[in-house]
């Protein structure tokens, strides 16, 4: 359990004024005095800047065991007020050291979520303004800034103005919204009549590759389609959806009387960052009259770089697309961009306007974002994006994304040249999937005993590398082999960090071999 702030990294002290209760705390009414807030906010921002300056000196993963934090915290909420210095000291002592440091440049696991400094400034304003951008009138700026930022992102991703959209919390929600719209577009009238009305009709089904993200299946669960509605289409050797099998599956379902509604294609799958053959899928979807949703939650950021748009060819033929700014656009959690050419279908799926939400006193029509999502309330997510996009500029964003892709390309070359390692997937974007395969075992990988040994050895290798605290790598299975993923995408990651990850992989592999 880490309950000590590292020496020199963290002041752990706040001005004396915070040691006493403020008048609002003593009286028990009202909020913190604005002047006290000013002083406290300055101290907190100092702590944040110190954290960002020193994050690399922390272990990416806190060296703790599950269940070790709760016993350090009181089981019940305090009855009386506590001083700010006590509370903030506990943040330093208990919260920060026990966080997984997503801001660490050695964070190379999953797909990165960085909170850029300008994005953090946007989050501060967002929290303070407390905008609920559910209706235009509940946040004119939240609504219109979101329309502007959605347009900025759409244009810079190279998508035509026929796409419009909204910002949601996550790709999971964006995909759920898209599939709910697909269901309406297919004429199922689920929003009005529910699926029970179809009890005797065919089952609505949809298609995604075996490598598609679990959020697609979860959307099926949530939308009442059920996991059985999802047809997982097998992939080729490079983990791309087999279009011939997609076509066959649709034909089979139609022959059985099922009702195909959508295809989900992925640009940048979670395990290997593979790219489904979009053009061919778009043709199939069009012929079958199916909604095409493209999940580019991670890789979509690359479309910002015109020279790297190859994998996105034909994505403008999609009915809806999700790209997550909170993944590789360095935006603090949460921010997911959903764009669609058929926002009318999205609205059909989610619009419900009770009297108390109607805007009566404006002549012009209002755009109420709540009509396009399941929730009523919604955060003002556009502000942080607006601040951040202006701070870095599109050129700056492109340079950073391009630099990450180049780091991955360089690592891929190193892996390919090392006789004791092998790459398990094309490194199309900024993620390299690899495993340790000592040269003496080359050619014997398919022997069941060798397979099992390689899986176990790579699991131990990853654990050993992660235990150094210098980097954090994650894993997956590719063609039923344990694969280590080096996913580059943190704003602060440089060649030094990727080189170090590679050094550690080779060093720890050597130690395991010995």
Least Å distance between CB 328 and ligand PLP? 10
For ligand PLP, the closer CB: 238 or 252: 238
For ligand PLP, the closer CB: 156 or 474: 474
**What does the DSSP 8-state code read for residue 41?**
H
Least Å distance between CB 234 and ligand PLP? 18
For ligand PLP, the closer CB: 283 or 334: 334
Least Å distance between CB 163 and ligand PLP? 19
For ligand PLP, the closer CB: 327 or 400: 327
Half-sphere exposure of 37 toward its Cβ, with a 13 Å CA cutoff?
A: 7
Return the structure tokens found at 144: 């219109």
Q: Phi, psi (5° rounding) for residue 336?
A: -125, 135
Q: Taking Cα atoms as reference points, which of 12, 100, 10, 108 lies closest to residue 64? A: 100
Return the structure tokens found at 28: 């028990």
Return the structure tokens found at 135: 């209706």
Residue 188: which region, alpha, beta or left (left: phi > 0; alpha: psi -120 to 50)? alpha
For ligand PLP, the closer CB: 336 or 493: 336
For ligand PLP, the closer CB: 85 or 324: 324
Q: Taking Cα atoms as reference points, which of 201, 173, 177, 203 lies closest to residue 191? A: 177
Which residues, 6+ apart, have CB-to-CB distance to 151 below 8 Å?
A: 161
Chain Cα centroid distance, residue 299: 10
Compute how many other C-beta atoms are within 10 angstroms of the C-beta atom of residue 279: 12
Least Å distance between CB 309 and ligand PLP? 18
Assess contact for 115 and 122: CB atoms under 8 A. no
Which of helix, strand or coil describes residue 165? Answer: strand
H helix runs in 194-294, sequence order: 214-222, 243-256, 278-288
Give contact residues for ligand PLP (rule: CB under 6 A).
111, 170-172, 213, 215, 266, 268-270, 295, 297-298, 324, 336
For ligand PLP, the closer CB: 215 or 430: 215
Least Å distance between CB 395 and ligand PLP? 26
Least Å distance between CB 291 and ligand PLP? 17
For ligand PLP, the closer CB: 110 or 436: 110
Cα separation of 75 and 70, whole Å?
8
Which residues, 6+ apart, have CB-to-CB distance to 348 below 8 Å?
A: 181, 184, 191
Least Å distance between CB 366 and ligand PLP? 28
Least Å distance between CB 507 and ligand PLP? 29
For ligand PLP, the closer CB: 177 or 188: 177
For ligand PLP, the closer CB: 139 or 168: 168
Least Å distance between CB 189 and ligand PLP? 27
Cα separation of 375 and 371, whole Å?
9
Helix (H) or strand (E) holding 186: none
Cα separation of 195 and 249, whole Å?
23
Per-state percent for the chain, helix, strand, coil, to nearest 5? 50, 10, 40
Burial class (CB in 10 A: 0-12, 13-18, 19+), 328: buried
Least Å distance between CB 144 and ligand PLP? 25
């Amino acid at each position: 359990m880490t309950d000590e702030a590292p020496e020199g990294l963290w002041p752990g002290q706040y001005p004396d004024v915070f040691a006493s209760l403020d008048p609002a705390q003593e009286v028990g009414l009202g909020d913190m005095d604005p002047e006290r807030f000013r002083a406290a906010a300055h101290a907190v921002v100092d702590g944040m800047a110190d954290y960002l300056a020193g994050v690399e000196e922390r272990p990416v993963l806190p060296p703790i065991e599950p269940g070790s934090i709760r016993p350090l915290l009181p089981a019940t909420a305090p009855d009386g007020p506590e001083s700010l210095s006590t509370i903030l000291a506990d943040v330093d002592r208990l919260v920060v050291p026990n966080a997984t440091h997503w801001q660490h440049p050695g964070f190379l696991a999953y797909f990165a979520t960085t909170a850029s400094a300008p994005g953090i400034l946007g989050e501060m304003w967002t929290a303070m303004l407390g905008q609920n951008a559910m209706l235009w009138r509940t946040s004119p700026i939240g609504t219109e800034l979101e329309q502007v930022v959605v347009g900025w992102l759409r244009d810079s991703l190279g998508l035509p103005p026929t796409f419009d959209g909204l910002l949601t919390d996550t790709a999971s929600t964006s995909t759920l919204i898209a599939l709910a719209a697909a269901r309406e577009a297919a004429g199922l009238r689920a929003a009005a009549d529910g699926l029970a009305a179809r009890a005797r009709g065919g089952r609505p089904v949809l298609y995604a590759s075996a490598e598609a993200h679990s959020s697609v299946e979860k959307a099926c669960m949530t939308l009442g389609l059920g996991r059985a509605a999802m047809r997982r289409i097998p992939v080729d050797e490079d983990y791309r959806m087999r279009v011939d099998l997609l076509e066959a599956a649709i034909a089979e379902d139609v022959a059985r009387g099922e009702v195909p509604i959508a295809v989900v294609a992925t640009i940048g799958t979670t395990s290997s960052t593979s790219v489904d053959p979009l053009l061919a899928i778009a043709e199939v979807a069009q012929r079958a009259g199916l909604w095409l949703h493209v999940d580019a939650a991670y890789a979509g950021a690359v479309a910002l770089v015109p020279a790297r748009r190859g994998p996105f060819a034909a994505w403008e033929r999609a009915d809806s697309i999700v790209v997550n700014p909170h993944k590789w656009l360095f935006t603090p959690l949460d921010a997911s961009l959903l764009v669609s050419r058929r926002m009318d279908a999205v609205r059909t799926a989610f619009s419900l306007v009770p009297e108390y939400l109607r805007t009566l006193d404006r002549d012009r029509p209002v755009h109420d974002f709540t009509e396009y999502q399941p929730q009523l309330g919604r955060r003002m997510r556009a502000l942080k994006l607006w601040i951040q996009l202006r701070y870095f500029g599109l050129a700056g964003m492109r340079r950073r994304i391009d630099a990450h892709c180049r780091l991955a390309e360089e690592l891929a070359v190193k892996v390919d040249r090392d006789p004791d390692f092998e790459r398990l997937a094309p490194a199309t974007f900024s993620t390299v999937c690899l495993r340790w395969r000592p040269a003496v075992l080359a050619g014997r990988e398919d022997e069941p005993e060798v397979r099992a040994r390689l899986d176990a050895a790579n699991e131990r290798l990853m654990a050993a590398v992660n235990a150094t605290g210098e980097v954090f790598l994650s894993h997956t299975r590719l063609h039923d082999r344990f694969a280590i993923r080096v996913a580059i995408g943190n704003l602060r990651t440089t060649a030094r960090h990727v080189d170090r990850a590679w050094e550690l992989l080779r060093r720890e592999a050597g130690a395991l071999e010995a």
